């Protein structure tokens, strides 16, 4: 059989993946571990449709249960089953709560015009104020700014908690004024599409959760870490029409993604390499689902993990992911990802292609290339030292006049040693000197360019400006 080394398994994998997509559920019910919550919701919807056709009236408890299931699983509802369920309940059964949820779910799906044509209602079991922010975004994107701000003012008045966790361009406090200035400045980015280059263990999860509180999931290209290549494969097949209406790309898997019709303009947050690595080590110990490193079953202490990283060349991890966007590295990606078998789930950090693609880049060249990418392709390089301000600046770059503030203050469950120096961290910083230089350099730049925003955020939160959150996370080296 002809082909490059490894092409046989790739062809087999690509064929298996295609068959799975095509035939899932075609030869019998989906059962066992292959079944998911949407399968259950789909079956419940089928039952409700058949009962309606037969004239059978469901109980109030049945309707409430069906609505609750649809609302719970409304995000990333690409099949439309959750939305269809709520639409059925609103139309066929006169469910007031479903009628109230329908415009919210249409807005979250990205169907802004349809969402705003439905009259708003406020029944007791309807969407909470926080969920209705999607309608604010819909109105804003349709150019109905006064209506958007009026609705947001109504939601803030109804929810004291939201007054503490949301910022708008028409607020009167210093943070809101700075946010309004940055939103106005973001007009210069158009028509480029904002893309969050989500570096691991650098506050990114907190940021994307907050971003998704405002930006509807149906207008976001979502690229996760473990299954990111599969999502990238799908994203590359989007049309210009699909891409035209997008508000954000969330790129958590390093890849030189290109979308038809719009250039991507990136933002990210950098972190001190020792704290970033420590955060990853401790989170992997305590949190299910995070992509592991190769020493998952052998390193019991942070010191052992650092030994593993240094002996396996796993240093300067942030810079090496950033240069995936460099022209000199993009060619390697183009050669690697030439068929469906190349797009697969990854089993470990080392399984990601950025590790291989950057393995032979000398640190001095890595530093130069990372700076070139950050300066030429990123409109914002934030810092973990000022995560809240970095997040608001990033949110403003989407152009949406509302932002949810970020809750993360830099702590990642890392134990404290209380020591003023840490030789393990020092070894890691020395070995990852490119990441350290980039973090220090771009933190200084962010503090210079966003001084007013930092001062406003710190004044609102009562947070000191001189103590980086990551330095509060001293690691026990065990």
- Give me the CATH number covering residue 117: 1.25.40
Distance separating alpha carbons of residues 212 and 218, to the nearest angstrom: 10
Whether residue 119 sits in one domain with residue 193: no
Distance separating alpha carbons of residues 451 and 471, to the nearest angstrom: 21
Q: Are 6 and 14 in contact (CB under 8 A)?
A: no
Q: What angle do CA 382, 402, 221 make, to 5 degrees?
A: 65
Whether residue 373 sits in one domain with residue 243: yes
Whether residue 193 sits in one domain with residue 142: no
Each residue's pLDDT, cut to its tens digit, for the chain (478 residues) gives 344 455 677 778 888 888 887 788 888 888 888 888 889 999 999 998 898 889 888 888 989 999 999 999 999 999 999 999 999 999 999 999 999 999 999 999 999 999 999 988 899 889 999 999 999 999 999 999 999 999 999 999 999 999 999 999 999 999 999 999 999 999 999 999 999 999 999 999 999 999 999 999 999 999 999 999 999 999 999 999 999 999 999 999 999 999 999 999 999 999 999 999 999 999 999 998 899 999 999 999 999 999 999 999 999 999 999 999 999 999 999 999 998 889 999 999 999 999 999 999 999 999 999 999 999 999 999 999 999 999 999 999 999 999 999 975 444 445 554 444 689 999 999 999 999 999 999 999 999 999 999 999 998 866 544 334 443 333 333 3
Whether residue 373 sits in one domain with residue 261: yes
- Residue 170 in domain: no
Whether residue 231 sits in one domain with residue 89: no
What is the reported pLDDT for 140?
97
Whether residue 217 sits in one domain with residue 317: yes
Q: Are 461 and 400 in contact (CB under 8 A)?
A: no
- Residue 11 in domain: no
Whether residue 247 sits in one domain with residue 146: no
Cα-trace Rg, the chain: 24
Domain containing 99 equals 37-161
Q: Which of 187, 159, 160, 156 is nearest to 170 (CA)?
A: 156
Q: Which of 349, 157, 173, 185 is nearest to 252 (CA)?
A: 349
- Residue 26 in domain: no
Q: Which residues contact 171 (CB under 8 A, 6 or more apart)?
A: 177, 179, 180
Whether residue 383 sits in one domain with residue 281: yes
Helix, strand, or coil here: 71?
helix
Whether residue 126 sits in one domain with residue 236: no
Whether residue 416 sits in one domain with residue 297: yes
- Residue 174 in domain: no
- Residue 4 in domain: no
Cα–chain center distance at 218:
13
Alpha helix (H) ranges present in 339-400?
Answer: 353-357, 363-377, 387-396
Domain edge (last residue) among 128, 161, 194: 161
Domain edge (last residue) among 111, 128, 161: 161
- Residue 80 in domain: yes
Place of tokens 């026990």: 476
- Residue 23 in domain: no
Element (DSSP H or E) covering residue 255: none
pTM: 0.91
Cα–chain center distance at 474:
27
Encoded tokens for 124 = 């007791």
CATH number for the domain harbouring residue 214: 3.40.50
Alpha helix (H) ranges present in 263-400?
Answer: 273-286, 302-311, 317-322, 327-336, 353-357, 363-377, 387-396
What is the reported pLDDT for 409?
45
Count: domains in the chain: 2
- Residue 82 in domain: yes
């Amino acid at each position: 059989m002809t082909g490059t080394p490894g092409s046989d398994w790739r062809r087999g994998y690509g064929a298996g993946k295609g068959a799975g997509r095509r035939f899932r559920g075609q030869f019998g019910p989906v059962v066992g571990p292959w079944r998911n919550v949407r399968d259950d919701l789909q079956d419940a919807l089928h039952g409700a449709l058949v009962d309606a056709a037969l004239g059978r009236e469901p109980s109030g408890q049945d309707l409430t249960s069906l609505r609750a299931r649809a609302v719970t699983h409304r995000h990333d509802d690409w099949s439309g089953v959750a939305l269809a369920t709520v639409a059925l309940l609103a139309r066929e059964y006169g469910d007031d709560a479903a009628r109230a949820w329908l415009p919210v779910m249409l807005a979250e799906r990205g169907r802004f015009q349809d969402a705003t044509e439905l009259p708003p209602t406020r029944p007791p079991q309807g969407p909470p104020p926080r969920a209705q922010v999607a309608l604010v975004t819909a109105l804003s994107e349709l150019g109905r700014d006064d209506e958007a701000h009026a609705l947001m003012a109504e939601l803030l008045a109804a929810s004291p908690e939201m007054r503490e966790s949301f910022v708008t361009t028409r607020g009167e406090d210093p943070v809101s004024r700075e946010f309004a200035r940055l939103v106005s400045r973001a007009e210069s980015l158009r028509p480029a599409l904002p893309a969050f280059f989500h570096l691991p263990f650098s506050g990114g999860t907190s940021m994307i959760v907050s971003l998704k509180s405002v930006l509807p999931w149906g207008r976001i290209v979502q690229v996760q870490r473990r299954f990111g290549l599969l999502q990238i494969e799908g994203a590359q097949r989007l049309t210009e029409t699909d891409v035209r209406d997008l508000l954000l790309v969330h790129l958590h898997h390093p890849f030189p993604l290109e979308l038809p019709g719009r250039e991507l303009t990136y933002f990210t947050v950098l972190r001190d390499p020792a704290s970033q690595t420590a955060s990853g080590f401790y989170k992997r110990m305590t949190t299910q689902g995070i992509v592991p490193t190769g020493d998952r079953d052998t390193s019991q202490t942070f010191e052992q993990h650092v030994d593993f990283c240094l002996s396996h060349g796993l240093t300067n991890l942030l810079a090496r992911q950033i240069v995936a966007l460099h022209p000199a590295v993009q060619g390697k990606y183009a050669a690697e990802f030439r068929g469906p078998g190349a797009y697969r789930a990854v089993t470990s950090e080392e399984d990601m292609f950025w590790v291989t693609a950057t393995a032979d880049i000398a640190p001095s060249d890595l530093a130069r290339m990372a700076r070139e990418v950050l300066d030429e392709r990123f409109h914002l390089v934030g810092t973990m030292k000022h995560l809240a301000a970095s997040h608001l600046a990033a949110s403003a770059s989407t152009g949406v006049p509302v932002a949810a503030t970020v809750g993360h203050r830099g702590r990642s469950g890392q134990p404290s040693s209380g020591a003023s120096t840490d030789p393990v961290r020092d070894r890691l910083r020395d070995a990852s000197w490119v990441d350290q230089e980039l973090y220090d350099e771009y933190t200084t730049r962010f503090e210079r360019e966003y001084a007013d925003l930092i001062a406003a955020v710190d004044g609102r939160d009562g947070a000191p400006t001189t103590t980086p959150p990551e330095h509060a996370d001293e690691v026990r080296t065990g």
